[in-house]
Each structure stands twice: as C-alpha cells, then as structure tokens.
Structure 1
Amino acid sequence: MPPKDWKIIGNDDGWILNNNPHPVTPETIRKLMVERYEGSPVGAISWCVGDNSIYEFETEIGQRIGDGYEAFEDERQYWLNRNIHSLIESCGGPLTEITRQFHEAGIDLLPSLRMNSHYDSAYDSPSYGRFRRDHPEWLIGQPHEYIPHPTLEYAISSGVDYKFPGVRAHMSSIVFELIEKFDVDGIELDYFRHPAFFRIEEAYANRYLMTDFIRGVRKRLDEVGAQRDKHLDLLVRVPPTLYDAKRIGLDVETWIRESLVDVVAAGGGFMPFDQPLREFVEAAADTTCLILGSLEALRWAVDEELLYAIAAQHWEIGVDGFYLFNYFNTPNEWKRRVLGNMVDRGKLLGLDKRYELDHSDRFGSKEAHIGAFRYASPWASLPVCMEQTRAGGGSVLNLDIADDIEAARATGTLASITLKLGFDVFCEQDELDVRLNNQPLSWDGRWVSEEGWSYGAFDGDVYHTSQTPRRVDGILIQFDVTDLHLAKGENGLVIRLLRGDGPHRRVILTEVRLEIRYE
C-alpha cells in the first residue's frame, strides 16, 4: 500500500516537556502544539520520545527520565519528570494525549525515535541512560579504551554499537512498544540524531545488521497494521548522501528497493543546496517510497526567500515533499503562509528567492554530537581560501536554480537578479575576475559593503518561536546580473582573485548568494 500523501512532515523535539519548566496539561498541549499546525499544510508530526536511551513518554519498557532520582540537575528536569507523571495520571500519558489531539485535528502522528543520541551528558546525570551505564561494553567506545579528544572517534564513543545483539534487541523492544501500545500512524527512526551506529572502521561491513533490524521493524509494522486494518508507515531520516549513509552502516538503497521503508527524509537539512538529493529520487523511482527534502531551521533556514529557493529547487529535483526540523514553535500564521507558499508550486514560481551555497563549517567541529554530524556528512562548497591562479583559473562553483529566468524576462515579471559574494576580509587593492556561465562580470560595476550580511534566526526569547536578523561581519561584493543568461538548472560560477600591490592578507570566500526579485 502506498504511503499517505504527506507534503510536509514536521518534527517536534519534545520541547513542551523537555524545555518547558511549567505544568503541562491537555489544554497546554492543544494551545502550544496542536493549534500551531491547524490549517497548515503539515500532514504529519513526528514527535520525539527521548534522548540518550532516556524516554519522555509513558513507556513501560524503557527508562523514563528522572525515575529513580531524588534530585535533579535543574528546574527543567524536575518539571519534565513531573509532567510525564501528571499526564499519565490525567490522560494516559503525553504520547497518548498528543496522538489523540493531533488525530482530532486531522494530522497524523508518528513517534520519532532517535537511534543513537550522542549528547555530551555526565555519566551520573539523570539524562544519561541506565541502559548505557549498565552495559558500557555495548558502547562504540569500549571501557578503558583511550580515545584522543577531539576526534570523530571520541565524538561518537558514547553511542551504542548496533553490532551487539543486546543493543538491537533493546531498541526493537522500544520500537515495538511504540507501535503496539499507541494509536500511531507509523514510526520515525531518526538516524540523524545522531548519525553513528558502529565503530568507524566496522560501519560499512556491518550495514547488513542494520538492514536486518529494519526488516524486523517492517515485519512488526505490517503485523500490527493488519490487526488494525491500516497501513503503518516507516519513516527514516538518514545522512545527506547514499554513499555516506552506506559508509556509516545504513544501506538506504536496499531499504528503498525492498520496500522496507515508506518515507525517506534525506539529510539533516544543513546543506540543502549542495546535497545530491536527486540520487535519492532516482533510487526511489518505480517504488512507492516517498522522498522528502530535509530542512533544518538552525542551519539557519528561516528567511522566507531562502525557504522558497530551497523548496523550488527540491520540487524541480523531484521530491515528494519536505521534512522540517526545529520549526515546531513557529507561529500558526507563519506555518499557514510560508509553508503554504512552499507547497503551492504555481505560486512559488513568482516569489522572490535567495539561492545560496552551503558551508562545511556549519558542522565542522569534532566535539560531542556535532562530531557525529561531521562524520556522516560530505564537504560543502564553502568556505574557499582564495589564492591567485593563472588566467582562466579560479574557484569553480555551481549554482543550481529552479527559476525559469528567460520565461520571466519574456513576460516582464523579472525585476532583478543580484550575485552577492561575502568575504571575511578583502584588500582594497585586490580585484576579482568573476564569470557566470562564462559571462564576465564588470569589476567596475560592483557594489561593495563593509557591513557584512545578515540572515534570520530564532532570537531565544521564546524557544524556537520569534525571529530576528543576525549579522555576519565581512565584506560583501555585489554584482547586478539581471541582464545575463541564467539557465534553469546548473550555472557555472568561477571566481578568481587578482592580487594588488598592497599588503597581502588571507582572503576567504564565506558566502555566495543569488537573489532573484520579481515584479
């Protein structure tokens, strides 16, 4: 049976319990969760049930956070434990009530199980799972093993190692409880929180073990679904390339080909422009598996024109919809309007857009869970250390755009196109030789700002809710390219640094933007 036609699945990280030091009631859930989605194009919610082998729902198999502790690290942990128990007493528990309310609103619910959180929690903390504490021999980093720090090996060492049967059995028991006990519409296995499941040198060879695990989940989903006379969907969120997924032990191509999974959310959303998303679409051709492009608000990706560019590009590639991470608290009006525009492909054509190139330094650290992101991700286009080359050389980049510029120009709806290049520093005596699709840009026609550039971000006043601009220091060099030919699809961009006679400082290209404005 084909999966539901979900244009958008929104992940919720469980904030209403784990980042809300106040009493939570069914009315709180309705006001702060459900009402924020009503009338929006979000068709399903994947609700995170816990981290680090600690769970925030009415589990009878896993460890509920705070149980067995008399003292908590902070007020947040106290209220988290208290709210879980108060909701169990008042309405059956958080997952029971959240599922019921979203179903009443016509929105599907999938519990989201993080497959291997690597957050840096203290060993004796209530947020460090008893399962890991009781079985240190089942962790990626072995007891008494010296692992240098900071390294990728150290960053993933606190995660469980799925080569051990006990780990796979324990995680299967949590999955089965979630689909057997609750009236859910399927389950999400979040393999991007966090993406490491075996020792680095063993991951590729052990990918068959994770495929066997997935087969067991698929079998149980089908059995429970048959009992309920409904199809239960399996959603997986995986690394941004099929190669990197397989390299870390996730044979996503096999999962798709054997119809083990219904929905694949491709990537963590940190590199929506550079990610080879098309390979996922091609892998799912002639199958019923949905491919969703992943968006991560903390990339940052909350500016409307940026989201519209991502959406347009993803639709052009052939995705079936979008998976949203960390957008849960955006207001209802924002979800209706912005997300509504993203799924309205006709309207999207005429909306202003900002295409960008992605940054490897957004997840370049080897510390804690960020190291797991680095481990599972390819390198992106930026930053580029600019050095002078021979004539005709330079840094070769690619801008993939979905807009039909020639059609907009013919109908008179195109207002302007601006290429913006951001540098950490730029010497006054230096110049750039810039070519867009082999068309040279006039250096004399540039416009330079020493005030840097900005992007939208959550301001922190209310958890992931309100937004404010953040400024990046640097030199922004802009070119008007409205009259140049731009193809629908790939556009070659070559940037060559020409050194002047002044003092030579290292020059880093840190930002590339192509802004398209319509009348």
Structure 2
Amino acid sequence: MMSGIRLLSFFALSFIASGLGWDSLSLAQHNVISGILYNEDDSNRFMIDPPGEMTTKTLDKLVDDLAGTHVTTYIICCCAKNANYPSEAWSVYGDGFDPNLDNTQPFFGDVDPAGRDGLRRWAHNLQKMTAEGIDTNAYMIERSRKKGISPWISIRMNDAHDAPLKESPLHSRFFMDHPEFRRKTGSVGAWTDVCLDYGRPEVRAHAMALIEEVCSRYDMDGLELDWNRFPLHLKEGEEELYRDVLTEWMGEVHEVVKSAEDKWGHPIHLVARVSARPEVAYGIGLDAVEWARKGFIDHLIVAPFWATTDFNIPVEKWIENLQGTGVGVTAGLEARVQPYPGGPSLPNTPDRRRGAALAMLSRGSQGIYLFNYFEVPSAYHDLLNELDSEEVLRQKNRTYEVTYTDIQIPGDPIPAHLPKTIGKHESAEFEIPIGPKPLPSEVTLSVVYESTSDNPIYFPVKLNGDPVGRIDYTGRMPIDFRALTEGTNRFEIANGMDYPIVIKQVDLQISPEDDSR
C-alpha cells in the first residue's frame, strides 16, 4: 500500500494545486513517483477466464494481489493496435468475432490454429464485459484507488504483434487499410518493419485521436506513452528529419493532458517510456531529454524492449542529462534474460531480478518498473516488497548477468558483449555493475564457454586490475567479497590455453551470509 508519507505528499500537492491552478504548478517540481510501478498489459486480464466467463472478480484479484505491497502505481494498458474498450477513435479488439462460431471463423484470419484459443478468450471476455457495461480500464482505476494504488493508463505507441501475418485479429483497421503508413513495405524482416511511421501526419493524428479520447474518458493519475512497444517509429535514415517534429507533437500531447487536468480536477503525470540508453533513444528519433527540458513530460521510464533485462542501464547518464528539469527516472525490468541476441533464454530467477533491480536503484532509479511480470504476484509475491529497496536487496541473494542492448539504432548497432571469442593467451573484459559494496557474502563468478579441446581449462581472472584467481573446470570461481567495489566491477578473463575459447555467458552471484531464505 502507498505509504502514509506518499499519500500525505499527494494530498498536500492536490490541496496546493487546487488553490493555485494547474498552470501555476509544475508537476515535475513535485515529483512523488517512486516504489514499484507495475504494468498490466492490454490482454492479460481477458485471457485468465474461459471464454465468456469473465467477471469483475478477475479484475479485483489483479489489483488486490498488489495491495499492501510496495507497488505504488498500477499502469493499465488500454491498447495494442486496437483498443480494449468501446473506443470511437480506434477499432476495438474482437470486432467481427462471433462467440457462436468455432475457431475456423474469419475473425482469426491466418493465425496458427494452435494460438486461437487464447485469442478467443480475449475476444469473448472483452465482448462480455462491454455488453455488461463494464469498461475494464475504468473499473481497475477505481479499484486501484480503493486499494491505495495510483492508477495510470498506458498507450502503446506502435504495437507490432503478429507482424508476419497478413490477417491477424491483432491488426487494426487503420493498420490494414494503410500499408503505406508503415516504416517499411513489402516483405517483413524484423517485426519493427511494420511499425507505423510517425513521420506521417496521418499516423500522428491517429495516435492523437486515442490520446484525446483516453484523457476525456479516464480519471487517471498518469498517462504513459509507451514508445518501447514497439521501439522504432520512423523510417531508417529519417530520424534526424523528424526528431523535432515528434518533440513538437509531444508538446501537443502535453496540452491535451493539461486540459484533462482541468476536467478531472487533479494533476495527471505525463510519462514516457523509452530505450534504456540515452544515445539510442535520441538516435531513433525520441529526444526525451528535450521533452523534459520543454516541460512536456513529468517522468521518464527507461527500459529494454523485450528480449532481455538490461543489467547495465546507465541511469546516472539520464539523470545528468535531465538535470534542472525536475523530471525523475525509473528503470525497468523485463521478464526475459538472454546473454546475447539469439542466445538461450535464461530462467529469470528471483536472484536475477534482485540483481538487476539493485544495480538500477544504486544508479539513481526512482523505484523499479515491472513489465510482463504477470506471474510475480502469485509465484514471487515477496519480490513486490523487495525490488524497490536497496537496503532489503543488499541482504538478499542476487545474480548479475552480462546481457545486451535490445533496442538499436538502425544501421548503428551497439555490439553485444557475448559471445566473445578469446584467442590463445589473450583476454577480454566484462563490466558488471553490482550496486553497493556487498555485505559479508559468498561470491562466485561463473562462465559458460565452448572449447575445441577436452584439456583442462585455465582462465586467470583479474578483478579491477588485480589478480583474484582462476576459473576451474566447472566454469566457476569463488571471490573474496572484500575485493568487490561499489558500482561497476571489471572482470578480465584471460585464456591461458594454446587454442581459442568462446565465452557465452558471464554472471556474478552474491549470497550474503545472513540471508534468511
């Protein structure tokens, strides 16, 4: 539940603003966003119950499972390509679905038959809720407030699910009717090829229509524009041309939100979610720092796209770039962990989630943002009271993985650290940010490697320039916790053999001696 201090701050802000008027008060100067920010996507709620059997009890449970935890903000997504409520601005998911027909009906288009049951639940349950006069977004907003959680609405700015399909029910009428509005036409390579091109005024107008409707329809505390779903919004090579156009457009969104504040009688945070790296966000045409400098946004979420949690988000760079704007930064976790593009998907254990969260908090993140974390409230409920607290996380087992940046500037990618080939008698360095210097702990450095020989391996290791031992045949090496420093630690792994080896995974495990688990 939101703490008494946070609630007091919010109500004090509301009282002051009611006397001054919203034009006299900069929300950025009174930023109270902290704790755990939890994103509920546009479809999850409709897929829990059998088709046509959804009730408001499902919505209650989704919210209630977060109540009494460190979740301060519930971010309710209202759309992908289609809206998930009876919209007049956009087409609605489930249009054309007939619950009396089987899964061969035209609604399912060219979706693989194996994937149609979930889409059926989604469509039928959304239709049932709408027929009963229940807007699930509005319902969850009200339920969140009753449980002491601040409700936001999230708009996906460029969803591209089912990109390879021609007739998926996930495609909107606008998307289907205007293939010329896509970033690329013709055959689909990457899913982001079919993202809409925000260089087109028609695309910006289409998005603005939904924003205006959402601001008029929902009494929310915040509006998130999710530029990470999906992350490319301009044709390759036109990012420089349209960057300022998008900034000007964000100013128009800001004015819409200000009008909504007048309508609802309270402040509404305008929040943007963008790439984890400042240079990448800027390079793909999203000048989030300029949005903040112009006062267009009140908070910034920085996060990976989907493929992997990023354990090395440079939160401090964002904070430095945003200095003087009053705009805070929250770093986000993803549900997946992957060491390199196309590599294995690693189990996203509680220890890995703790490691990523602690690294981000220590670099200045105002709390932690969770995306695609649907299983956490039931399977890992304790994490909802841990992930925003450096003090708690420092006392818990945690793991730090070397991963990669999964949002790239077209034509100018950031190379992945792995896999890394180390020639004979050569070495490679890997950076692992750990946050605060650890308490007395068992510390283990682990690698997964490939070798052309069955001979015993010999991997001498230096930590921050000092020799600390060598990795044995198991791929593991204990480290004295006192050798680790606060912040980023640099591990130099040498190949002591007469043949090359390939490093495919690097992680650091820290287990405090007094961890009670």
TM range (shorter): 0.7 to 0.9
Instruction: Give secondary structure in 2 for the equivalent of 1:481.
Output: strand
1:478 paired residue number:
476
Residue 433 of structure 2 corresponds to residue 400 of structure 1:
yes
Residue 91 of structure 2 corresponds to residue 63 of structure 1:
yes
Match of 1:100 among 142, 147, 151: 142
Deviation of 1:271 after TM superposition, in Å, equals 4.5
Unaligned 5+ runs, structure 2: 1-26, 99-104, 109-115, 338-345
2:473 paired residue number:
448
Name the CA distance, whole Å, in 2 between partners of 1:36 and 1:167. 37
Name the CA distance, whole Å, in 2 between partners of 1:301 and 1:291. 27
Instruction: Give secondary structure in 2 for the equivalent of 1:435.
Output: strand
Deviation of 1:228 after TM superposition, in Å, equals 2.0
Residue 361 of structure 2 corresponds to residue 315 of structure 1:
yes
Residue 445 of structure 2 corresponds to residue 416 of structure 1:
no
2:128 paired residue number:
86
Counterpart code for 1:17: F
Name the CA distance, whole Å, in 2 between partners of 1:24 and 1:418. 47
1:357 paired residue number:
402
User: Residues 495 and 75 from structure 1, CA distance in 2 versus in 1: closer, same or farther, beyond 3 angstroms?
Assistant: closer
Residue 328 of structure 2 corresponds to residue 290 of structure 1:
yes
1:434 paired residue number:
461
The answer (yes or no) to whether the contact 1:195–1:373 under 8 Å persists in 2 is no
Q: What pairs up with 1:50-449 in 2 under 5 angstroms?
A: 50-51=79-80, 53-70=81-98, 71=105, 72-73=107-108, 74-119=116-161, 120-142=163-185, 150=189, 155-268=191-304, 270-299=308-337, 302-332=348-378, 334-335=380-381, 337-359=382-404, 378-389=414-425, 393-405=426-438, 408=439, 414-425=440-451, 427-429=453-455, 430-443=457-470, 446-449=471-474
1:34 paired residue number:
63
The answer (yes or no) to whether the contact 2:38–2:75 under 8 Å persists in 1 is yes
User: Residues 92 and 490 from structure 1, CA distance in 2 versus in 1: closer, same or farther, beyond 3 angstroms?
Assistant: closer
Cα shift readout 1:234-253 (whole Å, capped 9, x = no counterpart): 12110121111111110011
TM-score (norm 1): 0.82
Cα shift readout 1:345-395 (whole Å, capped 9, x = no counterpart): 3233322222221146xx5xxxxxxx9898897334222122125xxx511
The answer (yes or no) to whether the contact 1:237–1:264 under 8 Å persists in 2 is yes
Name the CA distance, whole Å, in 2 between partners of 1:422 and 1:404. 25
Deviation of 1:232 after TM superposition, in Å, equals 0.7
Name the CA distance, whole Å, in 1 between partners of 2:347 and 2:85. 30
2:18 paired residue number:
none
1:516 paired residue number:
510
Deviation of 1:208 after TM superposition, in Å, equals 1.2
Counterpart code for 2:217: K
Counterpart code for 1:293: A
Cα shift readout 1:76-108 (whole Å, capped 9, x = no counterpart): 333322322321232432222222222221212
1:458 paired residue number:
none
Deviation of 1:21 after TM superposition, in Å, equals 4.0
Name the CA distance, whole Å, in 2 between partners of 1:244 and 1:507. 31
Unaligned 5+ runs, structure 1: 364-370, 409-413, 450-476
Instruction: Give secondary structure in 2 for the equivalent of 1:179.
Output: helix
Cα shift readout 1:106-165 (whole Å, capped 9, x = no counterpart): 2122222111122225222322111012222222124xx5x6x64x5xx43322111111
The answer (yes or no) to whether the contact 1:204–1:246 under 8 Å persists in 2 is no
1:453 paired residue number:
none
Name the CA distance, whole Å, in 2 between partners of 1:76 and 1:212. 39
Instruction: Give secondary structure in 2 for the equivalent of 1:188.
Output: strand
The alignment yields a C-alpha RMSD, in angstroms, of 2.5
